[in-house]
Amino acid sequence: MQQPRPAPRLKAALDQIGAWVLDQPVPQPLEGQCCDRLRPHQIRRELLQSLEASGLGSDNVVEWRWDARQGQARGWLWQAGALQRFRWWRHSGQLTLHEQLHCITTAPLHALT
């Protein structure tokens, strides 16, 4: 028993769709934007645990993103008046910090009246 062949118009439409799909460019890897696709929940949990184990509070994280190709998270921490850039490697748990900005608090300004 032979399977029915699609109608000629349907076959032509299917061929065009197949050619269109194959002609589409391969999407670039996710980089740049800070969205949940770049900050997977499991990675976040492991990162925060690693920060706690290193003596840094997990509430100090300002922003971070995950780089799946390199297996590392990069971002910013705020601790004791300093903004620090960090890198954390998931496979080894290694954490590096680089101070970027150190803020000093002074007395508030007083208006002269």
- pLDDT, tens digit, 9 for 90 and up, residues 39-78: 688 888 899 999 898 888 777 888 888 888 889 999 998 8
Q: Where are the alpha helices (DSSP H) in the chain?
A: 8-23, 41-53
Q: Is the pLDDT of residue 19 over 60?
A: no
61 and 82 in contact (C-beta within 8 Å)? no
SS3 99: strand
